A and B are shown apart, each in its own frame.
Chain A
Amino acid sequence: MTEGFPPCIVSRAVVLRLENVDTDVITPIARVLQGREAVVRFAFEPLRFDAEGAPSPADPFNDPERVGAEVLIAGRNFGCGSSRETAAWAVRGLGFQVVVAPSYGDIFYSNCLKTGVLPVRLAADDVETLMRAAENLDDIEVDLPQQRVRCGARQYAFEIGALQKEMLLSGLDEIGMMQAQAPAQDAFDRRDSLARPWVRDRQRAPAAPR
C-alpha cells in the first residue's frame, strides 16, 4: 500500500543516458543485504562512486541544479535483470516519483507501480527530446490523470492500464481488492480442482536427511 500519487508533478529531471541499466547497478547486492537505508544511500553505486568508494565527479545524481528532481529520464530497458524490489525503493528513495524511458524490465515496471513510482513509457525519439530539454534544465510536467508529459510547448501522451492508474492515484490496497474477489476465486477453485486435481495440497513427508 502506498500513499496516493500526486496528480501533477512539475520538476527538473535527472538524465541517465544509458540503456539496459540493470537492477544490480541500481541496488548492488551487498547494499541490499545492508537494508533499506543503504539501498537508497548507495543507489546506482557504480555510477556514483569510484572503485575506492569515493564520490565520482561524474555522478549524474549530484548536480546542484537538479536537487529535489522528481523525474528520472533513462534509456531503453531500464531496470532489467533481477526481480529485487529494492531497485524501485532506491529510485523512490532518491526522490523520484516518475521515471521516463522507452522501455523497462517487466518485473521492475511492476515493482515501480507497487512502490508508488510511475514508470512512463514513451517513444525513443520523444525520450531523446525530453532528455535534451532536461539537460537544458527545462521543467518536465507529468500529469497522471491526463496521462500526459509536457515540456514547454511539446506534450506526449502515455499509456498506462486504467486499473494501474487508479491504484497508483488512490494508493489502493491490492490485497484488499483481491480478497474482495473471494466469490470469483471460490468458483474458480471449485471448477479448477475438478479439472486439475493434481495441482493443490502437494506437501509430502520430507525425504530422509542427508
Chain B
Amino acid sequence: MGTSLFERLWDLHRVREMGGGMDLVSIDLHLLHDLSGPGALRALAQRGLPVRAPGQTFATPDHGIATTPGRTADTSEGSRRSLPALRRYCEAAGIQLFDLDSSEQGIVHVIGPELGLTLPGLSIVCGDSHTCTQGAFGALAWGIGSTEIMQALATQMLILERPRSMRIRVDGALKPGVTAKDLILYIIGRWGAAGAVGHAVEFAGSAVEALSMEERMSLCNLAIEFGARFGFVAPDETTYAYLEGRPYAPQGALWDAALEHWRGLRSDPDAAFDQDLCLHAGEVDPQVTWGVTLDNVIGLDRAIPVAPEDAAEAAAHAAALDYMGLEAGVPLAGVPVQHVFIGSCANGRLSDLVAAADVVRGRRVAAGVSAWVVPGSQGVKRAAEAMGLHTVFRDAGFDWREPGCSMCLAMNGDLVPSGARCVSTSNRNFVGRQGPGARTHLASPATAAACAILGHIGGAAELA
C-alpha cells in the first residue's frame, strides 16, 4: 500500500515516538500575532527560558489593531497593551516583527505565503486556528493554544497525537461564478461542522488542482470549520510558480534543491485514508450561511431549512433562527442587510478584491448599508491600489481600510452592532463573533459585494 501526503509530512517532522500514541514533532516555522503571542512570550520569560529558534519565528500584529488610516497601537483597545508587549518580547528575543510601519505587515496567514515564509513540506504552527490556511502549499500547518505556543518557542517541538487521515476528492469543474469559498462551505454543509474532527484533510481532485494558490488558501482556511485541525493540498506547478522569487523563499541552488524535495510531496495513487470522500464540483452553487454554525448553509437561491425531527437538533435550529431573526422555510434572498465586510484570512487576498471589484465597478452601495473592504496585507493593499481597485470601491461608497483581522472577530473596534445583519467573507458565523448580538452571513467576495449593492441578500447574477 502506498503512502499518503499526510503520512509523508508527518514522518518528515517526527523526531521520535513518545509512546502511548504520541509523537515528538519538530516545528519548522512559528508565526506569532498580537493576540496569542504576548501572553505566551511572557509565560516563557517568567520561566526564564529563551526562544530556541528566533530565525524560524516571525511576528506581526493583526488581530487587535485598528484598520483606520494613521493608526497606532493606541488607536484600538485591542492593541493598546498587547502590541507594545509583542514589540518588547520580539526585540528581546531577536524575533523579526512585521510591525504597523512595515510594508510587509498583514494578517498572519496572508503574509506567511505572500512573503514566501510558507513553503511546501514545512511544519508551521501559530496560535490561531486558521493556520490550516497555509496547508494550501502542501505544508503541515495547524493552530495551537497558548501553552503549546510557549512549548514551541522553548523547544521548537510539540508532543502530538497523530490525527486520522481523510481525503476529499473534488472532480469536474466549478460552475462559473462559484468560488473556492462556496466549495468549502458546501463541503461543510454536506458533511457537517464536525465532519472532519480528529482528521487531517487532503483536498484533491481535478477541481482542486485547477484552483489558484489564493483559492486553495480560502479552501484550506475553512478546514478548521469542518472540524479539521490540518487541511492541505499537494504542491504542484501552481504552488512553485506562486512562490518563486518571493522575498523569504529559497533562491538559486537552494530553490532548485527545495523544488526537487517538494516534487516528492504527494499521495501515492494507492495510498489509504481513514476516510475517502468525493464530490462533483458541478453540484456546487454559490453558498450563504443562515445560522450560527458553518453547516447552517444553503445555496443562495434556496429556502432556510425547516426544523429537523430530532428534538435537540430542532431546539438548536430554533435558537439559531431566533438569534438570526429569520424564519424556517423562507428564502434568504431578499433579506435586508446593513453591513458588508470583505476581507479576513479567508478572503482578504488580491483575487478576492478583484472579484468583488468586478461586481462593484460602476455601481453604488445601497442606501443604509455600511460596506467595508479590508485588504489582508500591506502587499495586497499596494497591489490593489496599483490596479485602481481602491477607487472602484470608494466610488461605490465602500470604506477602504488598513490591513488587519478587522470585523472578523470584533476585538479591534471594528464590529457589527447588536441585531444588525452582515454579509461577511470571513470564516465564522458564531453567536457574537462579529460583536455581541451581530448576525453574520458568510459568503464569497462576489456574493458579499453583490449584497452591498443590492442592500439585501442576493447574488451577482441578480445585478446582471
Contact = CB atoms under 8 A, between A and B. Distances in A.
Nearest to A113: B147
A81 B56 contact: no
A163 B26 contact: no
Nearest to A192: B26
Given A30-B436, A110-B145, A198-B257, A25 B430 contact: yes
Interface stretch (B115-123, B167-175, B343-351): B115-123
A209 B103 contact: yes
A104 B197 contact: yes
B55 A111 contact: no
Nearest to A104: B197
B257 A24 contact: no
Contacts of A82: 128-129, 409, 428
B20 A163 contact: yes
A29 to B, nearest CB: 4
Interface in B412-441: 418, 428, 430-433, 436-437
Interface string A76-88: 1100111111001
B27 to A, nearest CB: 10
Contacts of A174: 151, 159
Q: Looking at chain A, what size class is its interface with the partner chain?
A: 35 or more
B154 A175 contact: yes
Contacts of A81: 129, 224-225, 428, 430
B437 A51 contact: yes
A29 B409 contact: yes
Given A107-B129, A107-B143, A163-B19, A197 B254 contact: yes
A201 interface: yes
A26 B24 CA distance: 30
A204 to B, nearest CB: 7
A177 interface: yes
Given A174-B159, A184-B24, A17 B312 contact: yes
Given A29-B410, A110-B148, A111-B147, A161 B155 contact: no
B21 A161 contact: yes
A202 B55 contact: yes
Contacts of A111: 145, 147-148
Contacts of B268: none
Interface residues of B, number: 85
Contact of B145 (A88, A161, A162): A88
A202 B148 contact: no
Contacts of B428: 22, 24, 81-82
B19 A162 contact: yes
B16 interface: yes
A83 B144 contact: yes
B306 interface: no
B303 interface: no
A60 to B, nearest CB: 13
Interface string A186-204: 0011001001111111111
B91 interface: no
B157 A114 contact: no
A206 interface: yes
Interface of B: 15-16, 18-22, 24, 26, 28-29, 35-36, 47, 49, 53-56, 58, 64, 77-78, 96, 98, 101-104, 117, 119, 121-122, 127-129, 143-148, 150-151, 154-157, 159, 161, 163, 193-194, 197-198, 224-225, 227-229, 247-248, 250, 254-255, 257-258, 261, 293, 312-313, 315-316, 378, 409-411, 418, 428, 430-433, 436-437
Given A163-B21, A203-B54, 4 more contacts: A85-B147, A175-B150, A178-B151, A200-B55
